[in-house]
Chains A and B, each alone.
Chain A
Amino acid sequence: MSHNDDEFYVGYLPEAPAGIAAHVKRSILLILLLAAGVAGALAALQSPFDPGAFEFGIDRTFEGVLLEHPYPLLVVDDGEYPGSHLLVAFGKFGAESLTAGHDGKRVRITGSRIWNDQEQMIEVHELEPLGDARQSLAGGMELGTFSFTGEIVDSKCHLGVMKPGRGKPHKACAILCIRGGVPPVLRVESESGELSYLFLVDEQGNAVNDRVLEMIAEPVEIHGEVERRGDVLTLRADPASYKLL
C-alpha cells in the first residue's frame, strides 16, 4: 500500500494529516456502506412470520358461555367476534384462576384480542358472571385417529403476541407460558405451507401442560384422536407416547 510515510496522526491535534484523513474518510464510507448492506440484507432475509396479531393495550368486551376444561374457552354467540375464544391471563399465565367456578356459566369478559386466521384468544383482564347459560353447549365431535408431526408451542405467543412465537429463540418463553397454564398447541405445517393447530390433551381430555415441557420447540410426532369442540381442534394422546424426532 503506497502512501506518504512521513504523515503522522496525533488524535488530540485539531487536524489529521491530509493523506491519513482521506484514507480514514474512505474507510468510514466503506464501513457505513457495509453496515447499510448488512442491515438491508439481514432485514430482507428474515423468514416470514406466522400470521397473527395482538391488540395490546386495547380492551374489548365479550359475552358468552365459559368452558373451563380442558382449557378455559369462551363461546361467544353474537357481537363483532362470534365463535370460540381461548382464554389466557396477563403475562405468561393461563386463565384458570380467573375462570374457576364459572364452568358452563354465562360471563362478560373484558380483555385484549389475540388471533390468527384460524383461532381466537382473549387475554382476560376482567370477568363478570352473568348467571347460568340458557342452553348447554354441544359436546365435541370426534374426527378420527391421526398422526401429526409438528412443534409444540404456547398458543398465546404463537397466535400473535410474539413473532416468531416458535422455534429455538422462543423456547424458554414457551416453557414459561405453558408451565404458567397457557394451552399448549401442536403447530403442524403441511408440505404446501398450510398451518393447522391442535390443542393437546391427554387420553382423558385433561390439560397436559406440565407433561410436555421437555418437548417444547422440538420436532415431535403425536398419534392420537382428533376432536372438534366449537372452532377448536384438540388432539387426545398420552404425552408419554409423544415421539421426539
Chain B
Amino acid sequence: MSAGYQAVLWNRQKKRYDLTILAGILLYIGLFVGLGAALRPEATPETLIIRAFGTLALLMLHVILSVGPLARLDRRFLPLLYNRRHLGVSMFLCALVHGAFSMIQFHALGDVNPLVSLLAGNPQYASISAFPFQTLGFVALGILFLMAATSHDFWLANLSAPVWKALHMLVYVAYLLLVLHVALGILQTERNLVLIGLLVGGFGWIVTLHLVAGFREKPGDAPHRGDVIDGYLHACAVADIKDKRARIVCISGERVAIFRNGDTISAVSNACQHQNGPLGEGRIVDGCITCPWHGYQYEPETGASPPPFTEKIPTFNVRVVSGEVYVDPEPNPAGQRAEPAPIRGSS
C-alpha cells in the first residue's frame, strides 16, 4: 500500500514467487540450449540463445495472460496474480535478450544503422508472406518495455489509474503482434505442423479463457432491480451475506460491495483504488475490507485505508429493514463515513 515507495516491498511470498520464476527460466533455457546443442550440434550458440529466449518470452506471456481469467474462474489462482508484475518484467527481460541478440546477429555490422536495417532492410510491407516480421517484434518489445518500466505503484499513482490501466491493456496488442511476428517470421521457414499447432493452440487457449471468464462475469453487470424505500434500493437479504464477506450488486451502473461485518452492514464501491480489484470478492480481515488481488485494505464504514495509508474509495449509505438490505444509489465521496446499518433491531 502507498505510505511510501520502495523499488520492491519484499515479503516471503514475493521472494518465493521470484525464486520460482528464476528456476523456471533456468529450466527452460537449460533444456532448450542443452537439448538443441545435443540434437543439432551444427547450430551456433547465438541461434540457440535467440530461439530459447524468444520462445520462453512467448510462453511466459501466455502464462501471464492466463493468470487473470484463471483467477476469475477459480480464486485459488490468486497467488499467481499477486506478484504477476515480476513475472511480466522477467518476461520482458527474456524478450529483450531475444531482441538484442537478433539485432546484433542480423542487423549490426552492416552499411546502415541496425535500427534502419531492422525497420527498412526488408521493405516488403505490402506483402503478407514477405512482410518484415522484425518490425512487429520491435513494436511489441517497445510496448513490453513501457509496461515493464511503469510496472510499479509509483507510476500507477502518478500516471493515474485509467492511464496506467490503458497502457497495460496494450499487452493484448503486444501479444497479437508477437503471434504475427512468429507466424510471419520463423514459421515461414520452419513449416512444421506441430509448431503451427502450438502457436494456434496457445492463441486459442488465451481467447477461449478470456471469453469464458468474461461470460462468467457478465451477469454481475446486469442492473439490479428491486423495491425502493425513501430512495434506497433493495439490494439483497442480510441472510445472503456471510459474515466478513460481501455481496456484489450493480446499482446505477456501478458495482457495489455490500459487506457484513459482524452485526453491521456497510457498502463501498467494488473497485479497489489500487488496480480496480474486486473488493466484494475480498474479506474483512482485522476489521478492514481486504482486496483479494494485492491485499489493499479499507475501513468498511469510511472506505479509507487505515493510517498511514491514504487510499480512499466511495461509500454508500445503507439501511437494514426486516432483514433486507437497502442501498442509497448515490455514492458518498471517497473516504466519507457512512454509518454502518445494524442488522438486529432494524424495523
Q: Which residues of B contact A170 (CB under 8 A)?
A: 106
The answer to whether B188 and A168 touch across the interface, beta carbons within 8 angstroms, is: yes
By a CB distance below 8 angstroms, the chain B residues around A175 are: 117, 121-122
Task: Name 26 A/B residue pairs within 8 A (Cβ), A-sorted.
Answer: A9-B292, A12-B13, A20-B79, A23-B76, A24-B79, A24-B80, A27-B80, A35-B56, A38-B28, A38-B198, A41-B198, A43-B33, A45-B194, A47-B189, A48-B42, A49-B40, A90-B109, A91-B108, A163-B44, A171-B122, A172-B118, A172-B121, A172-B134, A173-B106, A176-B111, A179-B110
**B13–A16 touching, CB < 8 Å:** yes
Please measure, in the bound complex, the distance between the C-alpha atom of A39 and the C-alpha atom of B94, giving whole angstroms: 14
Question: Which chain B residues border A58 with CB–CB below 8 Å?
Answer: none
Q: Which residue of A lies closest to B190 (CB)?
A: A47
B24 engages A172 (CB within 8 Å) = no
Contact B40 A172 (CB under 8 A): no
**A36 neighbours in B (Cβ, 8 Å):** 27-28, 31
**Are B294 and A179 in contact (CB-based, < 8 A)?**
no
Asked if A31 contacts B76 (CB within 8 A), the reply is: no
Residue A14 CB within 8 A of the other chain: yes
Given contacts A9-B82, A10-B295, A49-B42, contact A169 B186 (CB under 8 A): yes
Check B36 against A180 for contact (C-beta < 8 Å).
no
Task: Choose one: A15, A39, A50, A163; the contact of B31 (CB below 8 Å).
Answer: A39
Please determine whether B27 and A32 come into contact, CB atoms closer than 8 angstroms. Answer: yes
In the complex, what's the smallest C-beta–C-beta distance from B145 to chain A, in angstroms?
21
B323 to chain A, nearest CB (A): 23
Tell me, rounded to whole Å, the shortest Cβ–Cβ distance linking A22 to chain B.
9
B-contacting residues, A134-150, CB 8 Å:
none
Is the CB of A93 closer than 8 A to any CB of chain B?
yes
Q: Does B271 contact A (CB under 8 A)?
A: no
Tell me the complex Cα distance, A20–B79, Å: 8
User: How big is the B interface, by class?
Assistant: 35 or more
Please pick, from A11, A23, A172, the residue contacting B295 in the complex, using a CB distance under 8 A: A11
| A169–B130 CB distance below 8 A | no
CA distance in complex: A67, B105 (Å): 30
**Chain B neighbourhood of A11, CB < 8 A:** 11, 13-14, 79, 82-83, 294-295
Q: Are A172 and B106 in contact (CB under 8 A)?
A: yes
* B133 vs chain A, min Cβ distance (A): 7
A45-B192, A173-B106 given; A39·B35 CB < 8 A: yes
- Which residue numbers of B lie inside 8 Å of A, CB to CB? 9, 11-14, 20, 23-24, 27-29, 31-33, 35-36, 39-40, 42-44, 46-47, 51-52, 55-56, 59, 63, 74-80, 82-83, 105-112, 117-118, 121-122, 130, 132-134, 184-186, 188-190, 192, 194-195, 198, 282-283, 285, 290, 292, 294-295
Residue of A nearest to B195 (CB): A45
Scoring A residues 36 to 78 as 1 if CB is less than 8 Å from chain B, else 0, what string do you get?
1011111111111111111000000000000000000000000
Q: In whole angstroms, how far apart are the Cα atoms of A10 and B107 in the complex?
A: 47
Looking at chain B's contact residues, the main secondary structure is: helix
Chain B residues whose CB sits within 8 angstroms of the CB of A179 once the complex forms: 110-111
- The reply to whether A163 and B107 contact each other, CB–CB distance below 8 Å, is no
Number of interface residues of A (CB under 8 A): 62
The yes or no answer to A162 lying at the interface (CB within 8 A) is: yes
Judging by beta carbons under 8 Å apart, are A91 and B32 in contact? Answer: no
Residues of A within 8 A of B (CB): 1, 3, 5, 7-16, 19-21, 23-24, 27-28, 31-32, 35-36, 38-54, 90-93, 162-164, 166-173, 175-177, 179-180, 218
Write the nearest CB–CB distance from A188 to chain B, whole angstroms: 17
- Complex CA gap A130/B314 in Å reads 88
Alpha-carbon gap, A37 to B121, bound state (A): 35
A11 to B285, CA, bound (A): 13
For the complex formed, measure the closest distance between the CB of B261 and the CB atoms of chain A, giving whole angstroms.
15
Least CB distance from B14 to A in Å reads 7
Residue of A nearest to B186 (CB): A169
Contact B76 A20 (CB under 8 A): yes
Docked CA distance A7–B24 (Å):
27
Scoring A35, A38, A42, A170 by chain B CB atoms within 10 A of each residue's CB, the highest score goes to: A42
Q: Sorted from nearest, which 6 A-B pairs have the closest CB atoms?
A: A91-B109, A167-B189, A176-B110, A172-B121, A11-B82, A39-B31
Q: In the complex, A177 Cα to B133 Cα: how many Å?
A: 19
Cβ-closest chain A residue relative to B295 = A10
Whether B40 contacts A46 by the Cβ 8 Å rule is yes
Cβ-neighbour of B51 out of A8, A23, A42 (below 8 A): A42
Bound complex: CA A42 to CA B130 (Å):
24
CB proximity of B278 to chain A, nearest CB, Å: 13
Interchain CA distance A222-B79 in the complex, whole Å: 61
Q: Which residue of A lies closest to B54 (CB)?
A: A42
